[in-house]
Structures are given as structure tokens and as C-alpha cells.
Amino acid sequence: MRNPWRFFLIIEALLALFLLWQVSSNPPVLIMVVFGSLNIYFGLRKQRRRKFQLILGLLIVGICLVNSPATWLMLIFAVLFIGLKGFEISGVSVSGAFSNKKNMVIVETSEPTEHRGECRKQTWIGNERIGSQVFEWDDINLNVLAGDTIVDLGNTLLPKEDSIVIVRKGFGRTRVLIPYGIGVVLEHATIFGTVRFDGEEIALKNESVKLYSEDYDDSPRRLKLVTNSFLGDVEVIRV
């Protein structure tokens, strides 16, 4: 997303709503939270603050919140986000595993070789570069937990057949750079985000969309782009 702090606040607000729903759907916990909140209120309001009443209220509310999964999700996301932003501001790179910089994937090509099986480890968060050395084109399948991803197809020659790129992620922005002359079909599903495709911008809320480029039917080389995200934008850019 363009503003990472706005993205952070939106996620925390959604988790806070989830926490509110969990508390309100559990009557015993709701009663304890109300009781603890009243103790905190009266402990602060009186001229002579009753430390016992204040501490009791804080303990009751704290215990109720700690037992909620939503509270732990809020804390985990806050630690991850603030930690990644700290590394980004300081300019420190930690083996690509804890970095919030752009995820650049550059694909190149070589002469066809005998097909062999391959197992490639993927990072959930951080920098990942595929294509540091020339290799034969193969379909792309990426899984990312959080972060911005760039897939650059400007340095490769797609075969004269249908190719596919699949990107699944939790949070973050996805940009795909595609050369002119390649027909593209985009299938995207998201909870909340925006799609930019061939000059068209579509806002999605728990929706899926399927779009074709104007030259898709007439192009000898075609690309099927399948993306899924919980929260984030997708942009297809011609280069």
C-alpha cells in the first residue's frame, strides 16, 4: 500500500473489531471486562485514588484481554510491522528475512534443457530474487505473508504458448511488469484492495475479478496472472 502506517492502522482497527466481537459474544468475559472497567473508572475519578481498586480493575481487564486470540494477533502484527519499519529506516538488511524492502523477482531465459524436479525455499517476509542467473523460463508460483512484490518479465522471452504466474499473499502490494505484445488475463481475489489493469482501476471489497487485455485473443504469447491477497493492491504495468 502507498502509506504503510495507514495500512498498519487499518489492520489494527480490524483486529480491534475482532477483539470487540470476541468479548461481546462471551457473556462471562463481557461482564468481567465491564466490572474491571468500572473499577478503573472509579479508581481514577475519586479525589483520593484507591490504588487497590485501580490495580484490581487493570488486572481483571488485562486477564480478559490476554485470553483473547485477537489481542495476541494485534501484538504480533504490531511487533512485526514496527520491527520491519525499524530495519527499513535504519537501512539494515538482515539476510533478506526481516526486511520490508521491495521484493524483486526478475525472470530470464536460456535454451531449453531436460526437465528436472526442483524444490525452492520461499521466505514469508523479506527480499527474494529469482533470476540472478540465466535460466529457462518456467511458470512462477509465489507465496508471501507480507510485503511488496514486483514480478518483472521484461528480461525474458515467453514461449509461444500459455504461461502462468501465481502470487498468493496476505498483506502488501503486487506489481507485475509485462512487455508489450503479450496477451494477459488477470484473475484476482481479495478482501480489500485495488486492481489497476490497462488503464482501468477497480476497487474490490471481498470480491474477485477476471480481466482480459485487448490483444489477448490475437497474441501468440499469452500470460495468465492469478493473484490472491487478504489486503493489498495489484497493478499490471506494460514495459
Give the tens place of pLDDT for each residue, 160-201: 778 888 988 888 888 888 888 888 999 999 988 899 998 889
Sign of CA dihedral 22, 23, 24, 25: positive
Please report which confidence band the pLDDT of residue 88 belongs to, taking 50, 70 and 90 as the band edges.
low
Nearest-angstrom CA–CA distance, 24 and 61: 14
2: pLDDT strictly greater than 60: no
pLDDT at 188: 92
Position 12 pLDDT exceeds 80: yes
Cell of 102: 521491495
pLDDT in the model for residue 67: 80
Give the residue from 187, 199, 198, 185 showing the smallest Cα distance to 229: 187
Per the CB < 8 A criterion, the answer to whether 151 and 176 are in contact is yes
Q: Which three cell numbers stand for residue 167?
A: 502470487
Structural domain spans, the chain? 4-90, 103-238
Which cell numbers in the block locate residue 166? Answer: 501465481
Q: How far apart are CA 89 and CA 119, in angstroms?
A: 34
Please indicate whether residue 119 or residue 59 has the higher confidence score (pLDDT).
59
Of residues 21 and 137, more confidently modeled? 21
Q: How far apart are CA 219 and CA 213, in angstroms?
A: 10
pLDDT digits (tens, 9 = 90+) for 99-127: 445 555 555 555 555 555 566 666 666 55
Is 0.85 topped by the overall pTM? Answer: no
Mean pLDDT of 51-79: 82
